Amino acid sequence: MQADNPATAEGDLVAPQPKLPVPDEVADAIRTLIRWAGDDPTREGLLDTPKRVARAWKEYCQGYGEDPAHHLARTFEEVGGYDEIVLLRDIPFQSHCEHHMAPIIGKAHIAYLPRDHVVGISKLARVLHGFARRLQVQERLTAQVADCIWEKLAPRGVAVVIEASHACMTARGVRTPGVTMTTSRMMGVFRDDDRSRKEVLSLMGLG
Ligand SMILES: Nc1nc2c(ncn2[C@@H]2O[C@H](COP(=O)(O)OP(=O)(O)OP(=O)(O)O)[C@@H](O)[C@H]2O)c(=O)[nH]1
Ligand SMILES: [Zn+2]
């Protein structure tokens, strides 16, 4: 549970490709993969598969087409003096690991302690999905979500915990189902103050 420099040092790694391949190149690549897997891409059931897979991957990775920070541009100040933790708990998400391009399926808990303004609560989930719909490692996903909220809202604290299962561990490789990876990023009071950290973890159901 640690936060250091809030700047996202690896932003460049997830930048979209400057030159996109054309659809025919993508279809060829998927036909090659089908052949690599041992099947025949010209058989009837697989004829439209390259197109479908190309569309599916655009959808899985649509986060490359957005800047998640934009979701936090609109804030509200009239909250009746509310100055306690705001938590969105158990947000389901899907991503793909950058090592195997296999699904990462999990849930995130995102909390912040507002300073003088709050954000529409759905926007926290939008930020999560904006970063999740890319090729990721769970550590970077966790850090990017926390850093984005920290930088855009300048709150007194941010806490992000992600619990996820990696298909590259369950469906292949070590083939160990039922394993969950947990990552967290604590910033501001949640990092510096034990009581605040305990409180937020307890609200997340992790205390
Ligand atoms: N830290 C971290 N590791 C991940 C994540 N997603 C996948 N991995 C791991 O990335 C590692 C890649 O290891 P390599 O040895 O290069 O690849 P590999 O031979 O396919 O490894 P195995 O999965 O052990 O078969 C594996 O240990 C995966 O479990 C993630 O989000 N975070
Ligand atoms: Zn993987």
pTM: 0.90
In the chain, the percentage of residues whose pLDDT exceeds 70 is 91
Taking residues 173-187, report their average pLDDT: 97
Structural domain boundaries enclosing 35: 14-60
Instruction: Please give the DSSP secondary-structure letter assigned to residue 18.
Output: S
Looking at every residue in the chain, the average pLDDT score rounds to 92
Q: Where residue 155 sits, what CATH number does that domain have?
A: 3.30.1130.10
Total domain count for the chain?
2
ipTM, interface predicted TM-score of the complex: 0.95
Which ligand is in closest contact with the Cα of 99? 2
Assess whether 82 and 105 both reside in one domain.
yes
Nearest to 68 by CA among 125, 16, 108: 125
Residue 5 included in any domain: no
Residue 15's pLDDT is 60
pLDDT, one tens digit per residue, over 45-68 is 999 999 999 999 999 999 999 999
Distances (CA, A) of 120 to 84, 123, 136: 15, 6, 26
User: Ligand 1 pocket check: which of 137, 144, 163, 168 to mutate, most ligand atoms within 8 Å of Cβ?
Assistant: 168
Q: Which protein residue's CA is at the shortest distance from atom 4 of ligand 1?
A: 137
Is pLDDT of 21 > 60?
Answer: yes
Answer whether residue 184 is part of any domain: yes
Residue 69 falls within a domain, yes or no? no
Q: Give the domain CATH number at 21.
A: 1.10.286
Whether 41 is in a domain gets the answer yes
